[in-house]
A and B are shown apart, each in its own frame.
Chain A
């Protein structure tokens, strides 16, 4: 049927599977990218990831220096060590980028994420949700007779664990900020 006997879709990461990366393992890295807060800067960063076939696990951005109009983008990405190196070099090449820090290498780093989680329910389930929230140090930021909104901060894995536990108790909505990260010490 396929006269040339070609394998379709030989590569999933990129259209051009030129690099022989067989055996190379996939790593997760957290990058902190300082940029000029100018129009379109986020589109540039996202476009770079999309255009070159890199992964984005999480991305957060906010202006951190209002006077200097600089924003900090925290991006969690995955790839082989060679791909991670390329991602950093490609980011560094963008004109509005000041610097790129690989917190996974420069670490140890603190990573935090915030989530707002709405749980609906009554009776025993409601009490149980409160109890779990207590253990995870989640705060109630809104409550009605039928629902709570919890606010929880922590490493992404902690938020994952919390949502696993409250999902069966009536979790109906969740909003997560994505990761903000910073190195420990000086």
Chain B
């Protein structure tokens, strides 16, 4: 292979050598040399989005549903500033993403040139690492290093900023094998003494629980399989964060459902009352812990995580194990088996009876209606009619997101794409585009709120252009529902600007884009309407008109511990005290 080539060709070659076959991007002046190189090759497919934020979320959807990194290409200035939200989203949810941005030519940097922005400065806090490449000879190695950093350890977004003159100039190409990747090398294997201690704790535990998170998904499908084996072998119940859904199957015998603010009653109660908590690849997020000083008061806590900074950040744990969760569970199983597969069987049996009592509360119960579609009912029907499909689900952010998490069941990892850490409205539609690109024959549904949908609705154009049959299922309550719910809870039901007014006609909008529009407001017709959506071979916007005032329960009000959950028919008056109201 020739080793001297232009910077633009180096970019293409480096992507090919990294196994990239798809990039999401949007061109502009400073990016033209690279776009010219893209035009002259056929190995890498470029998906033209309609807004750079859309490219980032599409890349996230692609990454989360494939386990491969997502790649984004944008021009300088406004192109790259539009990616800031998506990179922050990927940072908080640990999604591997490589953003290649163009920069003004090196002699013009610092002159306030047209479409110049301090890209590495702006994106420093929202990337795992970033680089400005000033020399074409260093371009290949930097791109390879970027892939290495994005995908190893705790994954995350990285950015490589490439000035236009660096793209034009000739330089030396280096293969990933030859390139110097630097000293960044996260620890994968856990400490055996600590893992043995965990095995002992499992042997002694009477009320154990596994609290798993997105780290299990990030570790790869093998980690999910090992998690299942661990739960089956030890009879320990499993709950998971929003980001970890699917690692343990929803139909699995040990599944308690999601935990946290809108998690299942049984999961939260079990977290509160357990005597051994095994956190596998989660991070004690405030949406999970509720009030810190009342968090699971009687348990020994173990934290398995690849990121040392996650340990003891919020909750002091008794036993930290730094390493890749897949490696650690594998070693744990080996050690626990070799010690004779011991558990406190009788005690754990009692623990399960207690859990069954909590389950009997049926925390997802809601008051059904024969005249309006309850949002929970919409989710139940969507689940019933799609669960046997080869299905991927993305969501926007709000009440609908929580209902989707509560009512849809995920039996495999990489099937559920949602913005957890940042809570980015506008994530779901572009994410569904990215997922469908990666899985052309699958059923890809974005469970959306009408307000969130409007935030990146331009990406319907992308769906049409690439013939992506994404199903946009809008749970339309004509409200910024989650905001309205919080106003009900702690601002005296003063609904300040939480109405979705002047909404477009979503059916006409679908038609204007060239998609199919379906509207349904009658519970009796809902099944047929959903079936019509599924039968249509192309993108659909489904305007599901639901009850406008439904609130999402159960709920741990902010500032409250796990065992003070609100259930659907509890009074919400004074649910949150003054201290809780200051929290987010």
Contacts and interface: CB of A to CB of B under 8 A. Distances in A.
A38 B581 CA distance: 44
A87 to B, nearest CB: 10
Contacts of A51: 125
A98 B184 CA distance: 8
A20 interface: yes
Contact of A89 (B128, B311, B314): B311
Contact of A95 (B129, B307, B316, B490): B129
B309 A98 contact: no
A177 B574 CA distance: 55
A95 B309 contact: no
Contact of A19 (B124, B307, B314): B314
B488 interface: no
16 contacts: A3-B492, A4-B490, A4-B581, A5-B578, A7-B578, A18-B292, A36-B182, A40-B121, A47-B125, A89-B309, A93-B308, A93-B309, A94-B129, A95-B129, A95-B149, A96-B129
Interface in B466-504: 490, 492
A48 to B, nearest CB: 8
A6 B184 contact: no
A40 B578 contact: no
B132 interface: yes
Interface of A: 3-7, 10, 16, 18-20, 36, 39-40, 43-44, 47, 51, 82, 85-86, 89-90, 92-96, 98
B354 interface: no
Contact of A92 (B128, B129, B309, B312): B309
Contact of A40 (B124, B183, B293, B584): B124
A122 B250 CA distance: 85
Contacts of B330: none
Nearest to B310: A89
A18 B316 CA distance: 13
A35 B194 CA distance: 30
A64 B530 CA distance: 66
B149 to A, nearest CB: 6
Contacts of A86: 309, 312-313
Given A51-B125, A89-B308, A10 B582 contact: yes
A89 B311 CA distance: 9
B229 interface: no
Interface residues of B, number: 29
A95 B128 contact: yes
B120 interface: yes
B286 interface: yes
B128 A6 contact: no
A88 to B, nearest CB: 9
A4 B578 contact: yes
A36 B182 CA distance: 9
A93 B149 CA distance: 11
Contacts of A4: 490, 578, 581
A85 B120 contact: no
A182 to B, nearest CB: 22
A17 B149 CA distance: 31
A43 B292 contact: no
A16 B183 CA distance: 34
B125 A90 contact: no
Interface string B305-333: 00111011110100000000000000000
Nearest to A48: B125
Nearest to B284: A18
B286 A18 contact: yes
Contact of A39 (B132, B149, B307, B316): B132
Contacts of A6: 578, 581-582
Nearest to B491: A4
Contacts of A36: 182-183
A19 B309 contact: no
B316 A40 contact: no
Contact of B120 (A18, A40, A92): A40
B292 A20 contact: yes
B578 A19 contact: no
Which residue, A6, A18, A36, A82, has most C-beta atoms of chain B within 10 A? Answer: A18
Given A3-B492, A95-B184, 5 more contacts: A7-B578, A16-B584, A20-B292, A89-B309, A92-B309
A41 to B, nearest CB: 11
Contacts of A94: 129
